[in-house]
Structure formats: C-alpha cells, structure tokens
Amino acid sequence: MCNVEDKSNNLTFNGRRGFLKTAGLATIGAALSSPTLAAYSPKPENVISANAALDRLMEGNMRYVKGDSTLHNFNAEREALVGGQNPYACILSCSDSRITPEYAFDSARGDLFVVRVAGNFVSMNGLASLEYAVKYLGTRLLMVLGHQGCGAISGAISAIREGTVLPGRLPELIESIAPSVGLAINQPGDLLENAVRENVRLNVAALRAASPILSEMVATEELRVVGGVYNLESGQVDLLG
C-alpha cells in the first residue's frame, strides 16, 4: 500500500482506493486547477509554441542521430525541478526498450511528458495523462511516436492473419492495434511498415478529435498533434504528413 502525502496540494494518497475515498473527485479537480500548479514554470525555455516545440524536438533528434547528444548535470537538473514541471512536448511512445524518447530527442529532465504503451495507441488513461499535461502543465505539442520493427504491431498482424491466440491480457492490446493492421493489409509494400505508419496516423487523429480538451485547443491552433516513426538503425525520427 502506497502512502504519500503531497503537501503542495493537500492531497493524501493511500493507494488508488484510498485516494478516491479520502479526497473525492471534487477535491482532486480543485487541486488540479490550483493556480500554483498551472502557473509554475521551472524551465522558462520550455514555454514555447507548438511549432517551436516541434523544431526543438527535431533538432534534438538530429544531435542524437549524429552522436552529438548533450551531457547532463543530473544533480542540478533534479534540484531545479523539485517544485514542479513544464515539459515542452508530450510523446505517446511504444514501450519498446529500444526507443527511449528522452534520448531520441536529446532532451533533459522536465522537457518531455511521456506516455508509453506497447503499440503507442491512445487508451483512456493515456489520454487523461496527455490532457493533464496540456491543460495544467502548458504543453503545446503532442507527438505519437511509432517505430520500425514494432513487436506489438507484428503480434497484431500474426493474430489477425494466422488467428494466433495470445495469453493473458495480450488480446486486448491486439484489439487496440487491429484497426491499423486492417487499414494496411491491402496496401502495397511491407505490411509491418505500413501498419506502423497507419497506427501512428490513426492515433494522431484520435488525439486531435479527443474532446473536450484536446479537440478544442487543436481547433484554435493552440495545440498541435503530429506523428513520427523512429528508425531503429539510424535513430532518426521521420515525421508523417
């Protein structure tokens, strides 16, 4: 059982059930909308537009590809972020251990708000996490990041083509990825590569349409949602149109 007292917003967390019981949803909402929480920007350089954030991500990726990544003073970075965070971009990435968005975009602590799930698709809790970053941390760019050779998508292809039945909760994961395989299955070229791209496109569209928070901010151009595919060999991220 986890027992954490957060003095900054007067919430007491005693595991999931305890949290709900103690605080109640109204209290949680009040805490999340606290002006202190929303306004705190420990990294002024991260208060940037979506377009500037995308430029910064891609410049970081270029440094990473060239092997010219920034050296970090982790002690100083930790201290600067004790009081809060204002990441400049959100990444919805696959859980695959070969990706690591913080490295791929040559970023520091406090720069990227990362949601990871095998197959990088939008789940309800993942969406809520992204909404939190956009609404309360001021992040203005979301990127769905797929990758070459994705095992989750490869598994979905096998399940659909060969009727493979996977154990545990894996069929639920496959179900979430299946629509992208369906879109790619009759396309010319490599099925896995095509399904990876379709999966990114589908989830970019899902985030752009997610109401009320994200869709409204996309409509007013305060927020951008983009898609990218990470190349395992070069480390390069190619943006999808």
Shortest separation between residue 147's beta carbon and Zn ion, angstroms: 6
94 binds Zn ion per the rule CB under 5 A? yes
Footprint on residues 128-167 left by Zn ion (CB under 5 A): 150, 152
Backbone angles phi, psi at 226, to 5 degrees: -125, 165
Convert residues 95-124 into a mask of x (bound to Zn ion by CB under 5 A) and - (unbound).
-x----------------------------
Strand partners, 224: 141
Query: DSSP assignment of 117-161, as one string?
Result: -TT----HHHHHHHHHHHHHS---EEEEEEETT-HHHHHHHHHHH
Shortest separation between residue 228's beta carbon and Zn ion, angstroms: 13
For Zn ion, the closer of residues 133 and 192 by Cβ is 192
Rounded to whole angstroms, the Cα distance separating 227 from 223 reads: 14
Shortest separation between residue 23's beta carbon and Zn ion, angstroms: 35
Q: Which residue, among 239, 229, 235, 238, has the nearest Cα to 193 in the 3D structure?
A: 229
Rounded to whole angstroms, the Cα distance separating 134 from 222 reads: 10
Which of these segments, 35-43, 87-95, 169-177, 193-201, binds Zn ion (CB under 5 A)? Answer: 87-95
For Zn ion, the closer of residues 137 and 150 by Cβ is 150
For Zn ion, the closer of residues 173 and 214 by Cβ is 173
196 binds Zn ion per the rule CB under 5 A? no
Q: Which residue, among 23, 21, 18, has the nearest Cα to 1 in the 3D structure?
A: 18
Contacts of 236 (CB under 8 A, 6+ apart): 61, 65, 230
Shortest separation between residue 37's beta carbon and Zn ion, angstroms: 33
Convert residues 42-81 into a mask of x (bound to Zn ion by CB under 5 A) and - (unbound).
----------------------------------------
Q: Distance between alpha carbon 151 and the CA centroid of its chain, in Å?
A: 18
Judged by the rule CB under 5 A, the positions of this chain that interact with Zn ion are 94, 96, 150, 152
